[in-house]
Every structure is written in C-alpha cells, then in structure tokens.
Amino acid sequence: MSERNVWITGVGVVSPLGNSYPEFARKILEGASGIRPMTEDDGPTLEGQIAACVDVIPAHAEIETTFPPRNRLERLTLACCIEALRDSGWWDRRNDVRVGVSVGMGAEWLRTWEESCLDGEQRLYKPELDDQSILDFVRTALGLRGPVTAVAAACASANYAISQGKRWIEMGWADVCLVGGCDLVTPMAAAGFGNLRALSRRTSDPASASRPFDRERDGFVLGEGGAVFVLESADHARRRGAKPYAEVAGFGASSDASHMIIPSSDPEPAARAIRAALADAKINPGQVDYINAHATSTPVGDAAETRSLKLALGSSATKTAISSTKSMTGHLLSGAAAVETVACIAAFERQAVPPTINLHEVDPECDLRHVPHTAREQKVRVTLSNSFGFGGNNTCLILRKAA
C-alpha cells in the first residue's frame, strides 16, 4: 500500500451552526449554541422537544431540476457533496477523475421509511420509493464514477467513512474521494433515545442542556446536519495547486463486544482504538495538541471516555487541551464525527481550540485539561477526534496540519 499523504482539500457542511465552513468555524470558536426548542416546522410529532436543527438545507436547482431529492436526508447529503466539490475546485472537472464516495448514513432505511414511505395515518410502506439508496442517488445525480459505499456504525460512522476514503486513495482505487457523514432528527430517533432515557431533560433551557463533562449533565441533545470532505493525495493536490485544510494522518478502531448501549466498564477497548490511531499516524501522545472528545453529555459515557484517554495517552491525557463541541451542535449521530472533523480544521486554521460551553463544574471523574466557555488560542498542529458508537464501535481519527 502506498505511503503517500492524504489531504482534505474541500469542505461542505450543513449544520445547526451554519451552512458553510467559514460560518461554522466562526460560530464553533465563538461558543455559539445551535440548540433550540423544536416547532411544528421541524415535525408535528417533535414539537415541544429540543434539538440542534438545521433551519434550511440549501437547494441546488441545477442538479435538483433533473434529480429531485426524495427526502431531507437525500437533499442534505447532496448539498454537502456539491459544496465540498465546489470548495475543492473539482466541481467542473468531477467527470475527469474517479470520484469515490464513502459517507456515514446510519439507519438510512429508517429515514427513508419515515420521510418517504408513510402515507398519512395509514402507515403504508411503499417499496417503489425505496428502490435506490441515497448514495446511489448522489452518484447518479453528480455523474461520479468511483466506488461508492454507505457506512453504518452508529455514531462512529463518519470516522469509518473518512478512513475508508483515505485507504482508497492510498491504494489507487480512486483519484478523489467524497467522505463524511450526515443525519437528521426524526420522530423515531427522538422516541427511541427518549425511551432509552439517554436524552437531556433540561428542556426549559435548551442552550444549556448539552453540558459534556459537567457534574450536572443528564443526557445528550439530538442534532442534525453533516459534513462531507474531498480527499486526494498530497502529490495530486500539489500538482493542481490546491490548498489543503489538513492531512488525514491516522485512524484506529476497536469493538467493546460488551453491551448494545452502555460503554464497556473496561477502558481498554476504546484505548486500543486511540493507540492504533497514534501508531497509524506515527506520532506519540505528547504530540497531540487538541482532543475533540466524543463526550455526548451522558453521565456514563463522558467518564468512560476519560478513563480510556488516560489509559491510552498516559500523562499526556491531563496536559492536552480537550473539548466537546457537542455542547454546541448537539449529537449528530452518524454525522457527529464529520462535523467534529470540521471543528478540528477550524482549530488548525485559527490556531485556537473550540470550547465546551456549559461546563460550569467539572465532574471529578472527568479531570482533564478542559477548555470551558471560550476558545483558547494556542498552537494546534495535531488533533485527535474520538467517536464511539452504540454497540461498542470505537474510532479515533488523527489530523495533522498540512504543510
């Protein structure tokens, strides 16, 4: 396998904090919250709940006139892909190269069923509306000719997808890859997590409900949106004079093989994923400048991640700046790792670490080097981003500032 470096050269983002990279980067470093009460416009069955919602998903008439999206998730994924290609400079030349697509979609069938296959109160399933996957739709609409696959690994989906695109570039299976993750807040997702008692009950004050690492945290807040990135080899990008956002330096993964929902009480499996990512990137723990934590604001999960970081990083765990941007974006499920990659890119560009807002009193079980309330200016050359999914899917992605 080739050892050539893989760069991110394009970003497309649709999120509760904005529908462009510059807007998202500005708000994530300002400590802005995208969490609000949901209204009937978000879905009649969701009214009265809180979430970090996307107000408007950008439409692209030049594509949608011929290939109209069938549902919001299809439009969201298409918008992220189009903007990433435009940002990278490949939009008008996308048919000249093999463009692969690897995107975390989670329970794609659930979104399709909810948004396209319900007929009023009769709940009639219409298989004719389910004959094409979302990524097949995107490939057809954009005329892409590389390999295409959706990744479903719960909250770790987007990290897996980014890693897969990196390997495709290294192995020469594609010239350019679109990678990332997208997800939406839907009635069934809200009901399911609510029944699991995983959601915050701080509904009277939405902006303060997501409070990772805080002693008073009581559950996570659902978010929606996603991000897609253009990957290509550094040599390929240099030849065309492309500007890199970051290098995808390393990836590690493991499984708890423990419980469908609750993180393992043993910190070793998640620590193994972190150590694997460090080894893949060929760096040591002391070289990491910023940790973007998975920390969703659940009592069990945040403490479990802290133990895994200490086991994997040793003394560096308490010396390295850490924050959870889910305090602002909510938890985007399959799209979480993707928008958190955008947060890491913003840290490189602005040389500042995004904060964890609502962190008023650190839980003693989460005694790390937190960045509460406001961004911290510092050197950022290497970032480590954890994404741990239901079922014990542990992933860690390492980015390096590209030179």
Q: Which residues pair with 101 in a beta bridge?
A: 148, 178
Q: Which amino acid is at 221?
A: V
Q: Which two tokens stand for residue 173?
A: 């299976």
In a domain, 216, yes or no: yes
User: Can you give the pTM of this predicted structure?
Assistant: 0.94
Question: Which residue did the predictor score with more confidence, 3 or 286?
Answer: 286
Q: Are residues 50 and 178 in the same domain?
A: yes
Q: Which residue has the tokens 């739709």?
A: 137
Question: Which residue did the predictor score with more confidence, 97 or 124?
Answer: 97
Q: Are residues 204 and 332 in the same domain?
A: no
Catalytic residue among 81, 117, 331, 396: 331
In a domain, 326, yes or no: yes
Which of 239, 266, 285 terminates a domain? The answer is: 239
Helix (H) or strand (E) holding 13: strand 6-14
Domain that holds residue 254: 250-400
In a domain, 171, yes or no: yes
Can you tell me the distance from the alpha carbon of 117 to that of 279, in angstroms, rounded to the nearest whole number?
Answer: 45
In a domain, 301, yes or no: yes
Tell me: the pLDDT tens digits for 252-294? 999 987 776 677 788 999 999 999 999 999 999 999 999 999 9
Mean pLDDT value across residues 10-21: 98
In a domain, 1, yes or no: no
In a domain, 245, yes or no: no
Q: Are residues 230 and 298 in the same domain?
A: no
Number of neighbouring beta carbons within 10 Å of residue 171? 10
In a domain, 275, yes or no: yes
Q: Are residues 263 and 345 in the same domain?
A: yes
Q: Are residues 73 and 122 in the same domain?
A: yes
Q: Are residues 59 and 205 in the same domain?
A: yes
Instruction: Tell me how many domains the chain contains.
Output: 2
The torsion angle over the Cα atoms of residues 189, 194, 195 and 198, rounded to 10 degrees, is: 110
Please indicate whether residue 331 is annotated as part of the active site. yes
Catalytic residue among 53, 155, 177, 182: 155
E strands, 221-355, in order: 225-233, 246-255, 290-292, 321-323, 352-353
Question: What ranges in 107-156 are assigned the alpha helix state H?
Answer: 108-116, 134-142
pLDDT at 290: 98
Q: Are residues 69 and 162 in the same domain?
A: yes
Q: Are residues 221 and 346 in the same domain?
A: no
Q: Which two tokens stand for residue 111?
A: 């979104």
Q: What is the mean pLDDT of the chain?
A: 92
Tell me: the pLDDT tens digits for 112-151? 566 555 555 445 545 555 567 899 999 999 999 999 999 9
Catalytic residue among 81, 294, 344, 370: 294
